[in-house]
Amino acid sequence: MLKYFLCCFFLAHTAFCLAEPLVDAKPSTTSFYNNAFVVHQLSPSLYAIGEPNYYQANYSYLIVGAEKALMFDAGANLQHDITEVIRTITDKPVAVIPSHLHFDHLGGIARFDEIWLMNTPYLRSFKKSDGLFHIPESVHLGAAEGLALPPLKVSRLIQHMEVIDLGGLQIKVLATPGHCLDEIVVHDISNNILLTGDHLYPSWLLMGNLDDYIASTDLIITQINPHTLLYGAHPDEDSSKIPAMVYSDAIDLQTTLHSIKAGTAQGHPYKNADLIESSIRYPVNKNISILTDITIIGGESFSY
């Protein structure tokens, strides 16, 4: 039931448009594939692969080093092969790491030869006696989408705060629970770019755990600076915009979260006939808000 209403929620709040950047980070080139994917080259080493005709308008990101490439998220598309798009960009070996294990970030994951996950007790619990990781539907929530996720062969477990060299390009992977327990972000240290997944994007954020969201956001702030560019997994209601943000957006989120914790934030009850039975909506800034204390229609809680 929860996954069905989540689908309805994003469908009601995401448009079907092509992408232009939200902040001053214009792509140097844009290409289209199979009416399913659009690729924006954001820098010599970073590509945003969007799905403008998918109702959540997901964005995944390809980071290309001199020796290896890393895909952050695997797209949502179940019919078209996102790895074919990647092969038009680079011939380097490619690994994929999902920002978290919700269905819209896992659509193409089984097509990758090399899969990475974070090394946490929660994720290790999915490894069974066959050596494969069996992600239950109660975690990926993909049945309503038709996602039949096979057991995954995981090549590498990444430590929290581990620095990985892709060949002249260093990235750091941070565990950032809050939206869900397994959320991560990827920091491109070499280019001062943070890929934020569902932790932060320019629309309505869904909070699963307040204390975790605060701790993760506080950690993120220690890793970035006023010149850092941030890219999230979803655009706002106007999906003609790449979900790009700046440092002040992260600061605004941090300030709002601490105000919520202190009981001083000005939130307002929010409900939606399609999804939300009850919640509190807090504005973060003009582009971002966050829903807390969420109860889905039917009585299910969006929390962990």
Look up residue 149 and give its DSSP letter: P
Q: Is the residue at 278 inside a domain? A: no
Write the pLDDT tens digit of every residue in 45-77: 999 999 988 888 999 999 999 999 999 999 999
Q: Is the residue at 280 inside a domain? A: no
Q: Is the residue at 128 inside a domain? A: yes
Q: Is the residue at 239 inside a domain? A: yes
Q: Is the residue at 13 inside a domain? A: yes
Write the pLDDT tens digit of every residue in 9-43: 444 443 333 333 334 445 556 777 778 999 999 99
Write the pLDDT tens digit of every residue in 158-173: 999 999 999 999 999 9
Q: In which domain, by residue range, is 118 found?
A: 2-247
The total number of structural domains in the chain stands at 1
What is the model's pLDDT at position 240? Answer: 63
Domain with 221 in it: what CATH number? 3.60.15.10
Q: Is the residue at 276 inside a domain? A: no
CA–CA separation, 304 and 293 (whole Å):
11
- At residue 290's C-alpha, the angle toward residues 158 and 143, to 5°, is 60
Q: Is residue 109 over pLDDT 80?
A: yes
Q: Is the residue at 65 inside a domain? A: yes
